[in-house]
Structure 1
Amino acid sequence: MARMGQRRRRFSLAVVFVLAVLGPSVGLSLLALRAASREALFVERRFEGSLLAEVNHAATRIAEVLQVVMEDLAAEAERIDSDVMALARWKKEEPLVGVPFLLQEGRVTIPEAEDDEGATFLVTFGPFLEGRSNLPVYDDIADVYRKQMRADGPGGDGVSAGAVPFPYDTAARRNDGERGQESAAHEETEGSESLLDPAKESLSTAGKTEAPVSGAFAPDPRAKMAAPKGLVQQLVSGFLKSDAAVEEDTYQKAVREGFQMLERNVLPQAALQAPALFMERASPVRSKTVVQGRLFADLRREGRSGILPRLSDEGLELLFWTQGREKDGVTGCTLDMPLLRERFVAALPEILSDVRVLMVLNEAGEPLFVPPGAGGLEWKKPFVAREISSLLPRWEVGAWLVDPGMIASLVRTTNLAVWLLVAVLLVTVATGGTVVLRTLSAEMRLARQKTTFVANVSHELKTPLTSIRLFAEMLLQHRQPDEARRDDYLRTMVSEAERLSRLVDNVLTFSRRDADNPDCIKERLNLADLVRETVEQLRPHLVLHGFSLRVEAPEMLPVQGHAEGLRQVLMNLLSNAEKYSEDRREVTVIVCSEGDEAVVEVADRGIGVPPSQAARIFEEFYRGDDSLTSTRRGTGLELSIARHIARKHGGDVTFRPRDGGGSVFSLRIPTGDDATRKGAGA
């Protein structure tokens, strides 16, 4: 009772200490660290913004390359028009031209010199150009949203116009009514150009960071704006980015309209690390590009020229086409992708600096080339990245940090003053706080272990008792006429009873381990005979469970010890070998002497002990898996008790991994006359 009262007083003092001193100190420390953490995030966001500006600039340069290519090809195609003979000359003079073609009167014509490449072109694009099949056409989700809003607005047939979370501009609506059909036709043409010629859109927006737009200044995509079309898409993209609900609704509508979603090849690390308290970000792996099958005739009605990307197992192909002077004529070609990649790389700003690597990834998430010194980067995990354009689906421009720990270094510098203040506070309460927390933690851990121990012991007691009762009832009721089977039942009952006895012995030994035990009297005995007797006692049980058991022992190895205690150590080690053996059920017991020590090694071919658990396997109650559903039974006391008994004898129980797999547990006790004195001091 006195000891219990003392424990209660200690606990009360610990609670008072935590509430009066440690609690406020930790609270202030957390507030200070929270402020420091926010400052660190602001530093990271500023760095992210700087790199994102470079990424956007690189995307602008790529868009400029595409724009120049389209303009040059369109100018050259005008000179060809319906001249089939000029196709071969066009390919020869323009390196970017892959397979040129003419579409006249619904038939595709290519130069006669084209062989395998031309045949592949006719199979891939011929049915689409001739109107016999469709082709996946890629679009930006912002353009899809604008079309949805036009359909949901006044005069449309949409059903969710009222759900638009920003005000509808009444002046724009009134102006829309005055414009009438002419304005509506102009807007439809504008939307068509967005689909077929997104390079112009990218050229207007790629260099600008898409800042979130919300509230009263949010754009109304249903209004007929006179602003540049690239600015409109930028505002719509920013609005979708700032409102996750509207963005999700837009994607769902797009799916219902037959669009398919693309997935990005990269996981931008800055976007993944952004906490919700700063901003709501769209999913960093969701692509802004969607795809839908379209007929070429529909595209021709909506625009006069464009580039159509096609993704296949061979990679990305780009098909350029432009309307000829004749009503039904179309001139175009595939683009030479290796040469186009070279132009993209040449158009990039400084690729490698002391801080970052700037690179373009293709549709497979691979860099267009690996700059010297950047071979170890994880290309699919850039710090920041963005998609280039719907003309280059799944292509990304990204920035990778040369030193991933650079931001952490900047953060450490920023937080140094805060950490110093926190350190002064923590040093004041560290000693008392550490003692109290360790005491509380140890008590709670011990309580949990004891609770688990009681549950495991109950489980361990119930299992053999159930087996004994079952077989006893079967024998009593004469359900088994076979004499051999009855003998098996009896052997099982004896084995389970021995197992139950060992469990009770372990529990009793554990309960009195800290008390003086006058019955534990050491005497002179032959350790080799004791080992052989113990092994023979357990051999039937082990053989029944498929174990091969081998003993190597000399005729005589005298020691000073307690026979039953040492027998319990050996049984615990053999039981441990049985529990943790799987397919290779081999146990070898070796008895020898090393210097002034007698050594008994129990070697198995079991699953072994992971290095992370090797230091804890001799702790009380410790088990690798202590759940009741574990397939390996036990209480977590066997090895702890074995070591305790060995140390009472002046020795120890140690562990080492076995060559070829398995474990070796060694019992070491002194053979000299001073063994009793060593054990008394253990």
Structure 2
Amino acid sequence: SSSPVVKEDGWEDDWKRSSSLIEVPFLLSPDNRILVPEAGSALSDNGLSFLSQNRDFLTGRAEIPIFKNIALEYKDEIIEDFDKEGPVLNAAQQAKSRFEQDESIKKKVYEEAERKGQSSLSRTVSPDTEQANKSEVTVELKSILITENLKFDEVTEEGESGIIPRIINGRLVLLFWNKEINGFITGSTLALDVIKRRIAGILPDVYTKNRILTILDEQGKPLITPFQEQKRDYSRPFAAREISENLPLWEAAVYLTDPDIISSRVSFITTVMWTLILILFTSIIGGGVLVLKTLNSEIVLARQKTTFVANVSHELKTPLTSIRIFAEMLKQGKQPDREKQARYFDIMVSETERLTRLINNVLDFSRMDSGKKHYHKKRVDINRLCRKLVENEHIRAEQNGFIIKFKSTLGEQIEGIAYADEEAIKQALLNLLSNAEKYAEKEKNINVETGRENNFLYIDVKDRGRGIPSRHAKKIFSEFYRIDDSLTARVKGTGLGLSIARIIIRDHGGDIIFLPRDGGGSVFRIKLPALGYENE
């Protein structure tokens, strides 16, 4: 079956350039077909390697080992006899604590995991026996991570996005995925070198005269190696702790620069070293969460920018195509009917205005982003502005099957006056009307209503479209944000209309709010200070 995917030339390169974290982007259809990278096309070595390593897993034909924290996987069993009156929200911490402290529970849980076919891992470090004997510090050789073979659908069924770590040929590969609202899945392999540099940047001082604090990667190599410690055996730490199931086999590790210091200060050094490693562990976990949140934000923004470029191209082509078709038809004299000729001219003018509005949105976004947007404010009759705009849009809207109606509850003329930039207010209102048309369902009625509420004038744009889910309501005014934001979206748009409209109205001392409409649909309300109240 054909796919609704729109793939603009070069979008993959644009996506990769938009964030240093993105390595090989991919796109899956709702039936788990890999649409990007496309087999058979001219692929880079990274693209070929991606398909070779991930094709069967992403398409549901193969399982791969998925890393899980054994204490979290079996937390119910671990805390079943624990204090039931304790805080429920702390169950994960309780399970981890009991697992680490109680050897009998640890043995029982490992046996249960093995019985269920889950595999336990060995860590990349082993204790420095001589130092351990002196200090009574032990390093557990068995990993707190287990693996379970799962298919891609099983991994993604409970979440909206995530990271799947894989160990391939001894190297860590991180696979980011994100579900789109239309059933498609976008994602990317992540540049591990960039992640390593970011994590290294949040570490405390690595080297002092008494100790070394560092992070070991999946191969047991430190992210940062002090110059004077290049030859050290980093597989034998004084103390070490695993980091996370998102970074399997990575360790936070402590080493003594002078092992002989142990003999004279055993207890003190042991306490200090474990304190340091806990500080390091807390730093890397906290920093790791921050890195992953930043990573998710960067990839989402990269995808939004890529979609924006593709959609702007689409939005520009559509009115240009209409103008060209009607212009050629009129030029060649193929339509002798005067009434139809006049209608064609009306459509061409309307499409030109649509094109102008799109270009203005992009230019205004650029100006607003650099703080260069200027307004020419004067006394504006909001009633008259809205009525005239609806009349002008009526012909174009009618061509697309829409009916736009205007209604006002404002009384005498002075009641509806605002101090504003007339063209800017028109642009904001046109952006709202454009959205109402794009997301319309079967009932193609749009109502524009004006009124007054205390010291504010309001303009309501009401539609009977698909509405906006509550979880998206707070995000729809963000730049580039679209509810169906992906290259596969059925409705095209730049994701700037609402953002620009709100900026314009807020620059006038007002605001735009979204309200669900009774009976289905949306209401977008522009609120502007009435004349005499604009500074309140």
TM-score (norm 1): 0.38
Question: Which structure has the bigger radius of gyration?
Answer: 1
